[in-house]
Structure 1
């Protein structure tokens, strides 16, 4: 009996255990989707160089940084409208020199330090005075004051109507915990520590930084604003787009933020969908001095052949439009758009009179879009007798072309601005001292128009002058605008409110707004 009782008790325990196991598995089935919904899995094609918001021009990872750190103002998602962030309101003096910001109450940094005006001043001084890469954003700020804990007063050296756009830029100044700055300043303004650590006020905290492998953001449950949908953002480094696509189809990541082949967008597998939004992603050709295009007849013939209206659909389908000026279409709607000549017979005759023309096109990147555009233009140029070749420039070589003894005749590159104001486009790419004036081309009379435009507050008058200067740069053969490409993210069905902003580099999902939805 005892033997029998023993096995009966054992059988009962085994049966009870199986029932409990089944119950637990059932719970897991119910819990797993909930857990998965709380975690967003995003791949990056390139590693994050630094998480320091003041000391690196991050592109692919800017949304991660901007969900950990915040500035005074920001661009509204899907728009170039400036809205308050850590500043709830502001005033600008009549002379355009003094900006007074009134700060949001009750904000704390991730390390528990209270946010106040003194923290803003310290963070801004670090960027402006620390010799950091992005110091130029505040170069015109001559004085900073905090009359009380909730007010910041910035005084400019000269009127700068683009100043609020500068502060709203994805790379604009962010506020860092003053305690963290003090604790980790080893004579380097805490740059070493901030490369891989963070202490901001944003909706997410940096929880894990494994260089070249993965990054994890955790929701800031003490955030002063609206709480994000996702509890955690898991970011993996997956340089190969084909691997990203396979992972997306297998359900191990939730989106391919950039570089999904445009040719495949019309036949996505089931379970995937597209979010596309207007963006400031214009592809341009910059022209070197003393190129074959210095000849007006050759230039007109080449423009006829490469007219982007002839190939934009082949390259990007419905996700791009012909550029209307030397500024992104979202930034400026020109009264008189740039026009390309269309007489192919005249173009062929012109090239024949010159005994044939050879052109080299340097590609800023090996990304598929560059090669696709180049191939299409080369085919078009062949139709008029121009022999063109293209090659991918070494990393960073585009920034040294003005000193290159043998540069390409044309540089194909994306020319996206820092901010939504035309000043940021003109000053960076076209004027004499522009940091991205790739070939160092100079047109003083156009620069003078840009100078005048930069002083105007009236948008209509301002844009008219910027448009005139842009036409001058184009007519002088300095830059050839081609196409503006949408920001296109391929993701699992049901992912909503990606928060894409026109000024942001492509694929930068706003982790604070994105969610699962019907």
Structure 2
């Protein structure tokens, strides 16, 4: 999605107290400063789709369920207990008592139902188009507008009493309960949502603008509260929520935007920040030698080469897509460009996810076979527009330019003519490839949001999308059937079959399962690396 420059009125100066702490540098036991690679989109989780913003909103909001720190295991959060009935179409949540939102209003079952009803009844093509994760999980709205076309999974929500919320669905989904951990499904204060016109989303061309709630008054129940976003300094400031049941050790948390990785490294070295994400794999040992702590996450993601079949008719021929797969030296790329522990991807589901299977067609590096397939398809000398992002570092793609260079050189070697197109990540790249389909090839990836194969392959290939430009109803139906399959064993088995089908059709080329890391200074204690990049800062302290 295009990053929308928040209006000048949004720029808020942090308090004089914060200024005095900041002037003293990062060596402050009460204030943790994290070097962010990019600017936040805004602060309403339901409209967000990118990691830099989720890192911030996860500190301000809670979900009904969450992932146990350092794992993808589902544990309670705002809900202490949960159970399903009615063949998976009813979910009953027993809520934590005594919780309040940051504005002092109570969190209860009525607030849960208000949030679910808000999402389900969202009006406007612009707003619905920004609810990516809600659409992937709940499939449709009370009244679909724009691209939304599915039958809604959500039926209604009942507040049985203050501590009991019952969610009724029109059909079961194997993604639950894991999908209830999604940060997009965070609980917001109903009063704040109403007061600050939270549903107001407008679109101008390819750009979106959001409400005062999203920009100025995000209000959750999380361990940190929003204090301000100073755009001039590129700093988002959060302060401790003393009423949280897991009270944070830090008094203040600052996310400082430093887009240049060398700048982040230098500021960590000088102590101006306490940590940053996605250090370059080549720097791991250097950082360790300097006394920094490199925290490597287990692989829970995939990097892929996207193929838009609508962009060039030749790409509709599976032989051409197979040629692309055989033409990429993934082993060499992983060995030379990615972090220790990274592996070549053979499908779009990481090994840690139930549904991964070795029984899929594989496409080993074979440039001669790739050339032969291009000849058979009448696609010799094919020219393709290859999009790649700039001004970003992703967990599955530490250096997009390096990734593009490696893959494009391999493709040139089998006779593909590459037209490179670089665009800023938050300056049109994702819109161009995911909404407008301007590309032939592109680089993208995915870090799992919850522990379910459908969060990967269902998100990618569960319906017709401009990113891939194909319509394969048999594949769409197979994914829908797998998603609805109940029981851990049958659910995993269904996705194993789907993964085999996907790799036969080859709508894109899986490249790697990277192992991203984050790095923190020697004084930082309590930072638990998460495979879902779901680090919570309430456990962090400075020694």
- TM-score band (shorter)? 0.7 to 0.9
Whole-angstrom CA distance in 1 between matches of 2:318 and 2:187: 51
8 Å CA contact 2:281–2:340 kept in 1: the answer is no
- Tell me which of 513, 529, 532 is aligned to 1:484: 513
- Tell me which of 446, 450, 454 is aligned to 1:423: 454
- Cross-structure match for 1:24: none
- Does residue 109 of structure 1 match 2:101? yes
Whole-angstrom CA distance in 2 between matches of 1:97 and 1:118: 20
Q: What's the offset of the Cα at 1:384?
A: 4.2
- Tell me which of 387, 396, 413 is aligned to 2:428: 396
- Cross-structure match for 2:252: 232
- Tell me which of 493, 515, 518 is aligned to 2:541: 515
Whole-angstrom CA distance in 2 between matches of 1:398 and 1:282: 17
Alignment deviations for residues 323-342 of structure 1 (CA, whole Å, 9 cap, x no partner): 13122333343142552234
Where 2:495 maps in the other structure, the secondary structure is: helix
- Does residue 370 of structure 1 match 2:400? yes
- Cross-structure match for 1:28: none
8 Å CA contact 1:262–1:316 kept in 2: the answer is yes
Q: Which has the larger radius of gyration?
A: 1
8 Å CA contact 1:364–1:398 kept in 2: the answer is no
8 Å CA contact 1:330–1:502 kept in 2: the answer is no
Alignment deviations for residues 334-368 of structure 1 (CA, whole Å, 9 cap, x no partner): 14255223445544566678695344352341246
Whole-angstrom CA distance in 1 between matches of 2:308 and 2:199: 42
Whole-angstrom CA distance in 2 between matches of 1:399 and 1:334: 32
8 Å CA contact 1:443–1:473 kept in 2: the answer is no
- Cross-structure match for 2:504: 475
> Which stretch shows the higher mean deviation, 333-342 or 248-257?
333-342
Structure-to-structure mapping, 1:144-183, within 5 angstroms:
144-171=157-184, 173-183=185-195
Alignment deviations for residues 169-210 of structure 1 (CA, whole Å, 9 cap, x no partner): 122x22222333344449859942342123221111112222
8 Å CA contact 1:304–1:344 kept in 2: the answer is yes
- Does residue 92 of structure 1 match 2:84? yes
Whole-angstrom CA distance in 1 between matches of 2:284 and 2:473: 44
8 Å CA contact 2:198–2:213 kept in 1: the answer is no
8 Å CA contact 2:339–2:516 kept in 1: the answer is no
Aligned residue pairs, count: 477
Structure-to-structure mapping, 1:237-276, within 5 angstroms:
237-258=257-278, 260-268=279-287, 269-276=289-296
Structure-to-structure mapping, 1:2-81, within 5 angstroms:
36-81=28-73
Structure-to-structure mapping, 1:431-510, within 5 angstroms:
431-434=462-465, 438-504=467-533, 509-510=535-536
Task: Pick closer, same or farther for the CA change 1:80–1:475 going to 2, 3 Å.
Answer: same
Task: Pick closer, same or farther for the CA change 1:203–1:348 going to 2, 3 Å.
Answer: same
Whole-angstrom CA distance in 2 between matches of 1:69 and 1:334: 35
Instruction: Provide the aligned C-alpha RMSD in A.
Output: 3.0
TM-score, normalising length from structure 1?
0.83
- Tell me which of 410, 414, 420 is aligned to 1:380: 410
- Tell me which of 314, 324, 327 is aligned to 1:302: 324
Whole-angstrom CA distance in 1 between matches of 2:257 and 2:303: 26
> Which stretch shows the higher mean deviation, 65-74 or 290-299?
290-299
Alignment deviations for residues 280-318 of structure 1 (CA, whole Å, 9 cap, x no partner): 331111223245555555544432230412321111141
8 Å CA contact 1:496–1:515 kept in 2: the answer is yes
* Structure 1: gaps (5+ residues): 1-31
- Cross-structure match for 1:27: none
* Structure 2: gaps (5+ residues): 1-23, 139-151, 202-209, 393-397
Whole-angstrom CA distance in 1 between matches of 2:34 and 2:474: 47
TM-score, normalising length from structure 2?
0.79
Where 1:411 maps in the other structure, the secondary structure is: strand
Q: What's the offset of the Cα at 1:262?
A: 2.5
Whole-angstrom CA distance in 1 between matches of 2:192 and 2:323: 59
Task: Pick closer, same or farther for the CA change 1:347–1:324 going to 2, 3 Å.
Answer: closer
Whole-angstrom CA distance in 2 between matches of 1:324 and 1:398: 24
Whole-angstrom CA distance in 2 between matches of 1:474 and 1:369: 26
Whole-angstrom CA distance in 2 between matches of 1:253 and 1:388: 40
Where 2:40 maps in the other structure, the secondary structure is: coil
Whole-angstrom CA distance in 1 between matches of 2:80 and 2:342: 36
Q: What's the offset of the Cα at 1:101?
A: 0.4
8 Å CA contact 1:42–1:256 kept in 2: the answer is yes
Whole-angstrom CA distance in 1 between matches of 2:283 and 2:60: 34
Whole-angstrom CA distance in 2 between matches of 1:431 and 1:416: 17
